Structure 1
Amino acid sequence: MSDQGSRLKERLKSTGELLLGGARKQIEEYKDKFENLKGIYDKFLSELFVHYSGATTDTIFIDSFFGKRNLSFAGIDGSVHKQEVFDLLIFFAGAYSSYGTVHVKDSGEIEVEYEEEYLEKGFGVSSILPVYINEIPRIDQTLLQRDSQGVIDDSITFGDSWIVDNSAFADYLMGLAEFYIAYKLVSKENPIDVLIMDRILSAEIASFYAETSEFRISLDKECGLIGSEVDGKEFSYTEWVYARTLVGNSGLGTPPPRGEYLLHRVICELLNNPKGMTRDEIETKLKLDTDTRKTRLDKELEQGMKRKGFVEGIITRKGKVYQIHPRYKDIRSRVKQLLEETCERIFSEDSSVTYEDRFKIDGRWLTTNDLSFLSLMSIFFTMEACWENNSLLLGVAKDTSARDLKRQFIPALKDLGGISQTFDDKSKDTPDTDRMILQWVSLHERERLEVPWAIREYDTAFKTVVPHFEGIKGLVSGARRNQISLNKTFVKSYFQLCQAVSDVKLRSNVLLYDRLVYPEIDSEADNILILKHDYLSRPEDPEPIEVVVADASNNPMQTFVMSLFSRMTSMSIPELFGHLKPLYVADKVAKYYQEQFRGMVESAGTWLLQRPELREFLFYLSTFRERRSEHERTRRNT
């Protein structure tokens, strides 16, 4: 560039050339990566595919699991909107459901019937919060800048535009709305039999668990729920911390008695045994069979009894008997009551319930941390209800960038002898996302790989499994801080439903689903593999981890899921090509309400400007952006 700079026309030309050249180079490199996938279907990937063309549901499984042939289902999706009105930012979020019935015939074929009057009969919740822009950092903790220890740096400030553009409060509120609806649908008197969410639930749990950690946030300053009254007693720091550990199923042996979950499992066992347990009884119950694991149990029991700052010990000991502290024996029921009371206020249909009643407790704002905690509890109680009622809980993702099939699952499965080969040296020179790999393979192997198909279901714990840090064969390590996430809780699979009649190369997108694990169908020996986790850097004494890898030849649950999904897609509606109608309908309902709300906000702004007592105030004190927008609207309309 010359000292005098470049002319705008020349600058635009060079920018365009740079754009085209860069895009062309990236596309060519990506094409080369796809070329490296040739032959992998025959080499090993075919061992993971399960074909479901013409498959019918196992009626014995349906009768055993659901206990009936006519099954209710619901699909849930949410909507979110935020809009500036003068110096306010208005948050709106809601979630809505579609309904229908699945009829399973004696032949195993499935028919799906939809509730057509979904606007009138569908179930939904929503809420609205108008808040001054300068107050948003008080409720949206995602905007705060923290140092390496998690301490907030108050010296960093941002302009209004940045706050408006980056605030995620409405997104957190939408998530809570979706999870709370899910909880309500599976815990009512006649619970939904099949619940489909537009979320990957295993990922949501991991995210919310991390976001609500007492090591990451300041519980006394950044959480409005702490100190709120539940049945006459304050909700405490201790209840917040330990409520996050309460997910588990005794039939599955979860939470697992290993790694960071050992104390969680001890707490769950003591909650289920009100009279308490001795150390030996706990050791026997958890099958801790090595000196290393027994020593860890002693340390975790001590940790459970120790006070840490505001957080009391949840375990007490009297003689040889360990018990839950009397103050926290009803922690499950108290947390459930807190969830229901708070969410009923937030999403109340009563317009007399003010936004302060909805989003403040004793003058303290509910923050994104609180919404994360309530979302996590909603998921936990949804899971409990699904286990209790045998309701099938499914989450579906349309566009996923997940890479664990390629990076974690296939290498680990080969080490366990479950697959013959892996990507080996070509791994770095192939597409990086599982979805793109499977999409390409499906296209090029279309004559042999009929739709619908799915990958064998595998444990979502594989997402955090990596080869042993020191390369010791037969052992694995955890991806982050040598920790491996919850096992035997969710399984996942990739699937593809259909192809166009007019062009066999045109196939629907590869989607991802995860579903809840159930003890009566997923705990059979044929579905369980054992990983050996070197958790304490003692390779001679690893911790065993049971993971679910479904038997490809006999998985009646996946057969039902794929048969159901195949009936829920459509070839005649472009947006439904390879997608699921319950989620499509729920999305349309959500967008309808979003548009209705958008119109309300715009009308409210116009109404405020016309009020004589407010017009002068708003005109002279409005923001620069608001004045500019008003001038632009006036210019367009004249």
Structure 2
Amino acid sequence: MSSEHERIVGSVRSSTQKLVGKFSEKIESMRRSSAAIRSLIREGYSADKAIFAARSLFGKEEAKFVAVDGTMAQDRQLDMIIFYAGAYAYQGKIIFDESGCRMAELNEETSSASVSSAIPIYEEEESSVAGKMTEAGAEIDPMRLPSSLMRLSEYYLAMKALEVDPGVKVVLLDRTLAGEFGHLVWSAREWLETGHSAMEGMDTPFGTVSQSDLDLARMLNPNKGLLLPPPRSQFIRYAIVEHLISAGKEVSEEELIRALSKGGGKAERIRRELQRLRDEYGLLEPGEGCRLKPHVWAYWERVSFAAKKVAEHIFETPPGEHPLIMKGGGGERWICSDDLDLVSLFILQRLLRMAWDNGVLLVGLIKDTMAYELAHSVSKVLSATGRIGLAGNVPDFNSDKALLQNYSVVEAMGLNTPWRTIEYDSCFRTAIPLCDAPAPGHGVKVKGAHKNVISNERTFVKAYVQLWRSNNDPAIRSHVFAYDRPCYPGLDNLRGLVLLHEDGEGVEMIEPVLECEEGSPVADLVIAILSSMAGEVIPEALGHNFPLFLADKKAKLVLEVARQTYLATVAYELAKSRLDQQILFNTKFRDFRSEIEAIRRG
């Protein structure tokens, strides 16, 4: 072995030993913090509470469910790119009794089993359709468009399933709801400010979609029982609009301030936002009183109709038309990745409203996540309020999942499955505790993780769950997964903990959902359902979710068949075209060079 090889081997050996040593230190730190970590975990579930939640949401002790998963692909033919995305569903029935929950039947959906689309575009159009503008110009992420298409296909199929069959009361999705909701709300703001949205200017039975309609729909998810939108920080303007919609009449400025400002501390900010709504946005009638202009009332109907119309055009494209080109305003407009994300946001909001209005349990199951808000935010807030005692800091495993997965193995003999962590508000994802002790008589001080902005509270909650372990060796366990779901008024505890957020204009009080002593019966309902679907003895499905496993396999099978078909179709159309074939290069130069090198190597 040469000296250079010896040096490399020695470097790798010492680096590996150092990493193993650091990991061992984390495990020892975990053992010292075992009691604190255990206080965040709830074993099993109450069948009685699960039945109560089922009756409260579904109106009975059984329900239909639908599990939706998607797939995507990207291929190149000559100077064309073909994007593919689709979603597929399996439906079944679950029954609740004193022993828990059982899956009574499972079958592939028939009436709304799938949505899919194969979309060809020229390479020269990729930057305008799939690119994102930056200071350096358009940056192209090759997987952004198919990823956005797949997400939209899953949300759209879930919405279709609920519309086609009102008996469907449980929707399972293989993605994070809260995480995507927050991301889509944030990214939509930048896109709407450009004024280039394909939805803006669309005609609907309720009027023409305006930029202010899109902005209101982006931020407004009203729910009186959950006190949404919260009258704070970036939500005040939208809380004003929602209050005026609910009032249905002219309201005095002072009356509005009393309704939205505890103790009158927000009076100046509310007056300033009223002035902007009147002068800058043109949403208020002139005069001293506060009254919305008539066109504002139907903002959601316009946006919801337009979003569904765009999704239908993509996945149920009329003959002879392109899925990403819509006609309107006397011309044609491309639907780009930013438009797809905007439509996904509005379809997700539509699902959220259906969940609240129709008693639907919406659950996002997350396989792999690097989130760490449980260890970095939630546990510190609970420690600051004295609800848990931390024997030193919780060890940093870079993610909550890694922490809990390792903990479940280290404490295998005393930790039964199924178990879950406490449920906590998704707003903790964007909140960072500022001190180790609560402010006297108030709450825990926090700041926003990015630009001091904290996302909306009381909209989604999240928890981690482990559903299976071996009876022969308790250390052999399934993966730890995360789930998130909407908050439900009357079932989730909305009072208790207070976060204090100084946003530059004062201290705002945030009241998140956080399980402290007694959990929500919806948590028992979720664990009962997930446990009933986690016992199938298939390695990649065991401890996960069998209906989602089937939907995933169906999606990949359909993709394999569809791919051959649409690629052959594109090749045929190009071959019979009258274009001078000499101008169509088979690949990019780098790809061409790689092919030649591969041929040369044999």
TM-score by length of 2: 0.90
- Residue in 2 aligned with 1:150? none
Show structure 1 runs of 5+ residues with no match: 1-6, 147-152
- Residue in 2 aligned with 1:37? 30
**Distance across 1 between alignment mates of 2:8 and 2:570:** 40
Deviation, structure 1 residue 174: 1.0
Distance verdict in 2 for CA 1:268–1:500, change over 3 Å: same
Letter aligned with residue 182 of structure 1: A
**Distance across 2 between alignment mates of 1:371 and 1:356:** 10
Distance verdict in 2 for CA 1:87–1:292, change over 3 Å: same
Matched, 1:269 2:243: yes
SS at match of 1:454: strand
Equivalent residues in 2 for 1:51-200, closer than 5 Å: 51-52=43-44, 57-105=49-97, 107-118=98-109, 120=110, 123-142=113-132, 144-146=133-135, 153-154=136-137, 163=140, 166-188=142-164, 190-200=166-176
Deviation, structure 1 residue 196: 1.1
**Distance across 2 between alignment mates of 1:359 and 1:452:** 52
Distance verdict in 2 for CA 1:57–1:18, change over 3 Å: same
SS at match of 1:532: strand
Tell me if structure 2 keeps the 8 A contact 1:467–1:476.
yes
Tell me if structure 2 keeps the 8 A contact 1:92–1:129.
yes
- Residue in 1 aligned with 2:302? 334
Tell me if structure 1 keeps the 8 A contact 2:90–2:108.
no
Distance verdict in 2 for CA 1:535–1:627, change over 3 Å: closer
Distance verdict in 2 for CA 1:317–1:21, change over 3 Å: farther
Letter aligned with residue 331 of structure 1: Y
- Residue in 2 aligned with 1:254? 228
SS at match of 2:134: coil
Show structure 2 runs of 5+ residues with no match: none
Deviation, structure 1 residue 489: 0.8
Letter aligned with residue 65 of structure 1: L
**Distance across 1 between alignment mates of 2:436 and 2:526:** 40
Deviation, structure 1 residue 285: 2.8
Q: After the TM superposition, which of the residue ranges 546-555 and 372-381 deviates more from structure 2? A: 546-555
Letter aligned with residue 33 of structure 2: I
Among 289, 311, 318, the alignment partner of 2:287 is 318
**Distance across 2 between alignment mates of 1:232 and 1:415:** 50
Deviation, structure 1 residue 366: 1.2
Letter aligned with residue 537 of structure 2: S
Deviation track 1:127-170 (CA, whole Å, cap 9, x = no partner) reads 1221111211101233x333xxxxxx44xx78xxxx5x634111
Q: After the TM superposition, which of the residue ranges 492-501 and 185-194 deviates more from structure 2? A: 185-194
Letter aligned with residue 194 of structure 2: L
SS at match of 2:403: helix
Tell me if structure 1 keeps the 8 A contact 2:77–2:586.
no
SS at match of 2:511: strand
Distance verdict in 2 for CA 1:631–1:358, change over 3 Å: farther
Deviation, structure 1 residue 596: 1.7
- Residue in 2 aligned with 1:454? 420
Deviation, structure 1 residue 188: 4.2
**Distance across 1 between alignment mates of 2:174 and 2:577:** 46
Distance verdict in 2 for CA 1:524–1:602, change over 3 Å: closer
**Distance across 2 between alignment mates of 1:47 and 1:170:** 41
Q: Percent sequence identity over matched residues?
A: 27
**Distance across 2 between alignment mates of 1:16 and 1:353:** 60
SS at match of 2:417: coil
**Distance across 2 between alignment mates of 1:624 and 1:359:** 36
Q: After the TM superposition, which of the residue ranges 335-344 and 266-275 deviates more from structure 2? A: 266-275
Deviation track 1:213-265 (CA, whole Å, cap 9, x = no partner) reads 14x66523x42222333348542222222221221211110110111111111
Matched, 1:595 2:595: no
Letter aligned with residue 137 of structure 1: S
Distance verdict in 2 for CA 1:482–1:145, change over 3 Å: closer
**Distance across 1 between alignment mates of 2:357 and 2:594:** 54
Matched pairs, number: 597
Letter aligned with residue 464 of structure 1: T
Tell me if structure 2 keeps the 8 A contact 1:568–1:581.
yes
Distance verdict in 2 for CA 1:524–1:326, change over 3 Å: closer
SS at match of 1:575: coil
Tell me if structure 1 keeps the 8 A contact 2:50–2:525.
yes
Distance verdict in 2 for CA 1:94–1:194, change over 3 Å: same
Letter aligned with residue 279 of structure 1: E
**Distance across 1 between alignment mates of 2:368 and 2:324:** 37
Among 465, 472, 486, the alignment partner of 1:495 is 465
**Distance across 2 between alignment mates of 1:231 and 1:260:** 31
Tell me if structure 2 keeps the 8 A contact 1:359–1:365.
no
SS at match of 1:550: coil
Deviation, structure 1 residue 601: 3.9
- Residue in 2 aligned with 1:398? 367
Q: After the TM superposition, which of the residue ranges 488-497 and 274-283 deviates more from structure 2? A: 274-283
**Distance across 1 between alignment mates of 2:175 and 2:436:** 36
TM-score by length of 1: 0.85
Distance verdict in 2 for CA 1:487–1:619, change over 3 Å: closer
SS at match of 1:264: helix
Tell me if structure 1 keeps the 8 A contact 2:536–2:546.
no
Q: After the TM superposition, which of the residue ranges 333-342 and 620-629 deviates more from structure 2? A: 620-629
